[in-house]
Structure 1
Amino acid sequence: MKLRPALLWTAVLAGGLGLWAGQQLDTSSEKGSGSFPGVEKEPDPTRKAAAAGIGDPLPPIVLPDLSGAPVDLQRFHGRPLLINVWASWCAPCVEEMPELAHFAAAQRDQGVQVLGLALDTAEGVQDFLRRVPVDYPIVLESPGPADASVRLGNTQGLLPYTVLVDAQGRIVRQKLGPFAKGEIEGWASGG
């Protein structure tokens, strides 16, 4: 059977268009969207977020509190902020909670603000707080390669993890591991 030249060229053109379209929809591309207007790529759940370091601004983070209301971490701007990342199932986190609660209570309205960032479920946190109540705000996040802890510089993904943000919104200290008794005050003051 002999192919006609027009049919052969049509097959070649269709194959070329198919290859071009495949390249345009390649999901390994670093672009935020494909070349087709209005078609956004799905975010890659395995891709890690950029981790902030000392001197970097507090990344934009909005997380739900225990009632589900969104909390924008930028609202704490103007006073130093200690963000403690923890989970109810993390034994060292649980051990340092009374120290954090004592520190937060001593700060009053002028000192360092304290925020708990729980990589946990709302139910797990609420159950924990019934046994070990704290007076500072708690926000929730699902653990993952791009969670708020990672964005705050916790590249190892271990808990507890604490960040100190200055009044201008810059990260000035980062700590992996629990605070020893009496350590928080000196750490938060730069000592």
Structure 2
Amino acid sequence: MNLTSLRATLLAALLCLLPLAASAAPTLAQTRFTDQSGSSVSLRAYQGKVVLVNFWATWCSPCREEMPMLNALRERLAPKGVEVVGVALDNKTETYNFARQLKINYPIVLGDSDTLSLLRSLGNPAGALPYSIILDRNGKQVGSLLGRLNEKNLEDTLRHFL
């Protein structure tokens, strides 16, 4: 086998692997999170609502700063079919103590070791926090926002999908 045909064979083998690598990345619909009671939950439970999924951690200052705003936003827009779900990349005790301290009224679930891969597949290659995605009423991702959220812009964006 000459060098040219060896390269062609290797390239063909690599191209065959690409669909496998792409399908190995977790999807939001397939992902299960853990709630405070330790139960496995899926975001499919919120289908039919416009959902803001906010990935955060207690050690992330911008995350902590935006949570009261998210709490108030959820309270205002819940009657119109908006839900906020926090996905914490942190340990259970610190997460729920912090949420209780701030009186967070939206659902908070825990991510796991696959959550960083999920963030990357959702359009956040660096895995930076805070990171939020917007799901339409069918559960389809229709937007993503990296960094601390601006309340007015976020509310205008969410209302667009109501």
TM-score, shorter chain, exceeding 0.5: yes
RMSD of equivalent CA atoms: 2.5
- Equivalent position amino acid for 1:133 in 2: K
Alignment of 1:117-128 (within 5 A): 117-128=87-98
Aligned to 1:95: 65
Structure 1 stretches (4+) deviating beyond 4 angstroms? 143-147
- Give the total of aligned pairs: 141
- Pick the structure with more helix per residue: 2
Shift of 1:142: 2.7
Q: 1:51, 1:154 within 8 Å by CA — same for their partners in 2? A: no
Contact 2:74 2:84 in 1 (8 A): yes
1:82 is aligned to 2:52? yes
Q: Secondary structure at the match of 2:67?
A: helix
Max Rg structure = 1
Q: Give how far 1:140 is off.
A: 0.1
Can you give the 5+ residue segments of structure 2 that lack an aligned partner in the other structure? Answer: 1-16, 18-23
Judged with a 3 Å threshold, the aligned counterparts in structure 2 of structure 1 residues 190 and 109 are, in CA distance, closer, same or farther, namely closer
Give per-residue Cα distances to partners, 1:32-79, cap 9 Å, x unaligned.
xxxxxxxxxxxxxxxxx6377xxxxx4322111111111111111111
Matched, 1:113 2:83: yes
1:158 to 128, 138, 141: 128
The two structures have a TM-score, normalised by structure 2, of: 0.76
Name the SS of the counterpart of 2:80 in structure 1: coil
Amino acid at match of 1:166: D
Unaligned runs of 5+ in 1: 1-29, 31-48, 53-57
- Kept in 1: contact 2:35–2:108 (CA 8 A): yes
